[in-house]
Each structure stands twice: as structure tokens, then as C-alpha cells.
Amino acid sequence: MPSLLNNRLTKRALRPALTLIDRRIRLRVERAAEPLRSELAVLRREADEMRRGTDGLRGSQYALGLLLDGTGRGAHRIPPAWEIDELVVQISALNGDGATARRSVVAAYRTVVALEALGVGRLAGSTSNVCGKLATVPLLAPPNGSILEIGTLYGLFAAALTRMVHRAGIEPDLTIVDPLAGRQLQPGTSQPADPTGTPVREDVVRANLALTGAGSTHHPRIRQGFSADPEVRAEVTDREYGVIVVDGDHSMEGVAADLEWVEEIVAPGGIVVIDDYGDASWPGVQEALDKHLADGSSRLRLLGRVSTSAYLRAE
Ligand SMILES: C[S@@+](CC[C@H](N)C(=O)[O-])C[C@H]1O[C@@H](n2cnc3c(N)ncnc32)[C@H](O)[C@@H]1O
């Protein structure tokens, strides 16, 4: 016997009731879905906003990269926070004051970025080591503003250092010794072409020093030649230097010879910076300083290390 529900008459009789039930169900589902629909619209708006935000961030990150990445200078100038924090800790260990160390590191970083943006050539070395040297020297209170840099390359580090010591109230009086031979010289190594493409020449160094007021507020002396040359030495051994940066010939013999000379020309209380100390690329630097200090006859006392530079004070 056919089921009652399959009966055509029964179907017709039930149709209005079924249509009503159907409409009610649809109405309930629509009502229930309404809050979900508006939530979805909100989510869509938020996703659009986020997409616009990340597009903007990507754009400004690109522009920041143009300002600070390593293109055309080798090292980038985008230090992570931990690197700056580490510098502050290392410098504080030398001067005992974290807040002053941080202020000095930040001022050094801004100086590096500004000078490399406007200068000819580059500063040599990692951001950490360069900022370390610039931030530490003024905080060690050198006894006078006579600065000798052995090995300057483009003169931009020297320019930055004059700025940093001036900020600390010390009027800079800069002497530079470098062969300025058109390219960087390093005995026993063949240096690749510089990433800047700029020649290592005296006119370049002068142009860079002029950025920091050289010629008006201070008058740097540039002695072209090798630091071991007796004529060069005779000429610049005319004062006691408050700061000496040893960054020329990086061989063991070269650094050892510079240290012997430094003993004679550094002022009592003067600060000596040995660049690239502990840098695996230049093992001769550490070897020379460690040997120099080994027998205790030196006037120089090791204060400590910041990044890849050693700091000493003369008795
Ligand atoms: C590492 S670069 C100096 C970088 C610079 N101080 C800076 O921080 O940007 C070394 C420089 O020392 C020069 N140099 C090499 N032998 C030297 C020597 N015996 N006396 C002086 N300078 C020397 C090189 O030609 C080069 O210009």
C-alpha cells in the first residue's frame, strides 16, 4: 500500500503548511547569520587596513634600506638593538655610567650615518666597532684634544672623532698619517677594490674633514707617508697626543712598530686605541699588542675592549 505522505492529495493539503515552515526556518537562519555577516564585514575592513599598513611599511623599509644598507660601502648601518645594548654594557665597564655610554653610542651612530651620507668614501669597519670607538674615546676623558690617527683611509672616521670629542667639550686638533696612495695599502695582503669606488687621496680626506668644520673651527694636519718613515715621525713628533688611534699597517710587525712610536708621543693620561684587536681577519694586531704589554715595561695600561678595539691609557 502506497504511503500516506506520497499521496498526491495529502501533498497538496500539506503544501501551505510546509511553505510556512520553510519561510520561518529561512527567516531564523538569516536572523542568526546577521551578526556573523556584520562581523565578517568588520574583519574584511581590518584586513584591508592591515594590508595597506604592511604595504606602507614595506615601502618605508625599502627607503630606509637605501639610506642604511651596505650597498657601496661594504658594512651596513642597521645595528640590531642587542648590538647597541652590548656596546653600552662594554663601554659602561670602562667609564662606569650606562646612561652616558648610551647617549654617546647614539650620538656616534647618528654621526656615522650623517657623515657617510654626505661624505666621499666610507668609514672602515662594522657599525659596532666604529660606534664603539667614537663613543668610548670622549668618555675616557683624554688629557688634551691633540689626536693622531695612523691610517685614515678616507678621513671620515677622523672627521667623526673630532665631532665626538668636541661634543665632550674638548677642542680637537687633528694629525693624520697615511700614505694616501690612491688605494688602501696593507703589507702582505692584496686589498680588493674598495666598495665605494672612491680613490684614497689627500683631496678626498680634505673634502671629508671640511664637513666637520676643518679649516674654520679646526685645522687638521695631514702628513702623507708611512708611520714608520723617520721623516714622517720627525715631523709629527712635535707634541704629546691626548688620543692616538692605531689603524694603519695591520701586520704584527707594523703594529709593533707603531706601538714603539706611540710610547714616545702619547701624553701622560693619553688614550690609545688599537683598532681591530681580536678581529680574526687581522690576527697580527692582537699578537703585537699582547707581546708589547707582556713584559710590563710599557707606559700603556690596557683598560679593556669594546667591540673589536682595545683601549689603553698612558702613565
Ligand atoms: C683600515 S684603513 C683605516 C680606516 C680608518 N681609520 C677608518 O676608521 O675609516 C687603513 C689605512 O692605513 C693605511 N696604511 C697602511 N700602512 C700604513 C702605514 N704604515 N702608515 C700609515 N698608514 C698606513 C692604508 O693605506 C689605509 O688607508
CB hemisphere CA count around 50 (13 angstroms): 6
Residues 6+ apart with CB under 8 A from 134: 104, 108, 111, 112, 157, 160, 161, 164
At 235 the three-state DSSP class reads: helix
Tell me, using a 6 A CB cutoff, whether residue 124 lines ligand 1.
Answer: yes
pLDDT value of position 217: 79
Rounded distance from Cα 192 to ligand 1 centre (Å): 14
Q: What cell numbers appear for 258 in the block?
A: 707603531
The Cα 84–Cα 95 span in angstroms is 16
Tell me if 286 sits within 8 A of 223, measured CB to CB: no
Question: What value does the mean pLDDT take over residues 238-242?
Answer: 98
Q: What is the pLDDT of residues 161-177, one digit of tens each?
A: 999 999 999 999 999 99
How far is CA 271 from each of CA 82, 138, 149, 268, 301, rounded to the nearest angstrom?
27, 10, 12, 9, 10
Task: Report the alpha-carbon angle 96-287-101, nearest 5.
Answer: 15
Instruction: Using the predicted structure, report yes or no on whether residue 32 has a pLDDT greater than 70.
Output: yes
Closest C-alpha to ligand 1, atom 11:
151
Q: Report pTM.
A: 0.88
Task: Report the alpha-carbon angle 301-306-308, nearest 5.
Answer: 100
Q: Is 81 exposed, middle or buried (0-12, 13-18, 19+ CB in 10 A)?
A: exposed
Tell me, using a 6 A CB cutoff, whether residue 116 lines ligand 1.
Answer: no
Confidence of residue 4 (pLDDT cuts 50, 70, 90): low
Q: Which atom of ligand 1 is nearest to the CA of 185?
A: 25
Backbone CA torsion sign across 57, 59, 63, 65 = positive
Tell me, using a 6 A CB cutoff, whether residue 162 lines ligand 1.
Answer: no
Instruction: Using the predicted structure, report yes or no on whether residue 128 has a pLDDT greater than 90.
Output: yes
Rounded distance from Cα 91 to ligand 1 centre (Å): 25
Confidence of residue 6 (pLDDT cuts 50, 70, 90): confident
Closest C-alpha to ligand 1, atom 21:
178
Tell me, using a 6 A CB cutoff, whether residue 196 lines ligand 1.
Answer: no
